[in-house]
Structure 1
Amino acid sequence: MGGFRFGVLAESAGSVGELVATARRAEELGYDTVLLRDHFVPEPFGDQVAPLIGLAAAACATTTLGVGTLVLDNDYRHPVVLAKEAATLQQLSGGRFELGLGAGWLRVEYEAAGMAFDRAGVRVGRLEESVRLLKELFAGKEVRFDGAHYRVDGVTNFPAVDRAPRVLIGAGSPRMLRLAGREADSVGILAKALPGGIISDAMEERFTAAFATKADLVRAEGRDVEISSVVSVELADDPRAAAERYAVERGWGAGAADLVADMPAKFLGPLDHVVELAHHRRERLGLSYLVVSDREFEAAAPMVRALSGA
């Protein structure tokens, strides 16, 4: 069983300077990666810098910290263009880039940009072809491809990379989870995206049973894929009170505290308690790559120190 990894999702960094400061501090605190989302409308996560350019700045400002996307919307970049950008960032960072990809889900963003928001099956099919193309391009091959969504006729990627970036796929639906199981180094397990272009807010999507079912779909492909999730960490004396606060903040009511405690992405309570939870969830669910918001990463640092190398 692999060790834990920890990432910081820089979702409140409103400038390159703030992102660089977050990356440097994350490196000091022992985190493994700093990560950026990929949105150009402010809701639901707030305004942010362009991910690949921002990560280049973060890579230049650090020495060991990984830099990654969580996740790029495949529809926003042709894979031939993305392969060149990713290879350049992999070279610039000395091999520290992690390429997170998704099929896209935020309808209002597509509409704001005048882009067609195709049904989920089409978007996932496009991502499947894109991942295949990216891997061939990273391998230094002259690529010829004639698929349902992309046609490439004799492209060789530049710059060449000694080692392809790690690939993470963000997935919440069965088809996406199976794709991650076949192709990814890591999978970020999500609540499922709904046809209307939003992420499900259903509580049951966040319970252990649902997470386990999704992790099993990934593992059913027979490969060793790292399991990841964006998590909430609150180090507090009383786990029950912390769970009640979280439930109230989400609009579920204090009575949902026991249900919150069953959510694999919630680490609430004293340090020894959350460390025990992390070990238990890694053993039961395979969850070993924990990503926290930059709003929590300072407070979560004791958990990172306690579990690093574990």
Structure 2
Amino acid sequence: MNRLRPFRFGVICEQMQSAEEWIMKAQQAEDYGYATFLIRDHFIREAFGDQLAPMIALMAAASVTGTLRVGSLVLDNDYRHPVMLAKEAATLDLLSNGRFELGIGAGWLRSEYEQAGLAFESAGVRVSRLEEGIHVLKGLFADKPLSFAGNYYTVTNLSGFPKPVQRPHPPILVGAGSKRMLALAGREADIVGILPKALPEGAISEEITERLPETIAQKVGWVRQAAGERFDELELSM
């Protein structure tokens, strides 16, 4: 079933130099009618300039606005253990009165991993670890204690606290460019970020074909195939 969906517009805000500037940008975004106020997740300047710590910065933005939704675009799963991320995300959702959107991905920037001394493993490993991480996040957002034993994470009879305001959890956005990642997003995400594919060498493809309408349509098709009947409930982010 195809249906028209409302558009939402968000703004990515970065390279802030002061608290006053960050607060002003958040309040301006709300005044201008943007739906979401987003921040990336990088800690080397070469990627997108100097970046604030996303979860803390988003809480600051939420505290000076009333309706603006705040979100990550996107957190690198490898930079935070999902148990700690679940607690931070639920806390942010609670303190923002249900205005947080949790964007997460498998990571792609090799130079960032190397400068931080993190192992930049194969895309297959990173995607598998992300899939387990999302399972842990959803389990800790749920009402019952979580026990999970995977290849990368093990959690034993752990109850998440606090619980998020949005139930069953804050909207989860998965940024994806490859067929496998788009399929994962189709199965697990509430919002699917349609992106150019990440390359094995640790960069984002700059091929013009990645941005052509037929390529985007193919990627949406992969999401649709994996999502099945829930596809009509998904939001697509470009």
User: Residue 18 in 1 paired to residue 27 in 2?
Assistant: no
Which residue, 63, 83, 88 being the options, matches 1:85? 88
Instruction: Give the corresponding residue for 1:276.
Output: none
Q: Which runs of 4+ in 1 moved over 3 A?
A: none
Deviation at 1:150, TM superposition (A): 0.5
AA in 2 matched with 1:226: E
Q: Quick check: which has more Rg, 1 or 2?
A: 1
TM-score (norm 2): 0.94
- The yes-or-no answer on 1:4 pairing with 2:13 is no
Matched, 1:210 2:215: yes
Whole-angstrom CA distance in 2 between matches of 1:16 and 1:158 = 29
Q: Which residue does 1:139 correspond to in 2? A: 142
TM-score normalised over the length of structure 1: 0.73
CA contact (8 A) 2:101 2:172 kept: yes
1:178-217 alignment to 2 at 5 Å?
178-217=183-222
Question: Which whole-Å CA distance do the structure 2 matches of 1:187 and 1:161 have between them?
Answer: 21
Aligned to 1:172: 177
RMSD of Structure 2 on Structure 1 (CA): 0.9
Q: Confirm or deny: 8 A CA contact 1:70 1:101 kept in the other structure.
A: yes
Q: 1:73 aligns to what?
A: 76
Q: Does 1:110 align with 2:100?
A: no
Larger RCO, structures 1/2 (Cα 8 Å, 6+ apart): 1
Number of residue pairs matched by the alignment: 229
Q: Is the 8 A contact 1:168 1:187 kept in 2?
A: yes
- Distance between the aligned counterparts of 1:76 and 1:17, measured in 2? 28
How far off its partner does 1:19 sit? 2.0
- What's the offset of the Cα at 1:110? 0.3
Tell me the amino acid that sits aligned with residue 66 of structure 1: R
SS in structure 2 opposite 1:5?
Answer: coil
1:17 deviation in Å?
2.8
Q: Does the aligned pair in 2 maintain the 1:69–1:98 contact within 8 Å?
A: yes
CA contact 1:15–1:49 (8 Å) conserved in 2: no
Query: What is aligned with 1:154?
Result: 157
Aligned partner letter, 1:217? W
Query: Which consecutive unaligned segments of at least 5 residues does structure 2 have?
Result: none
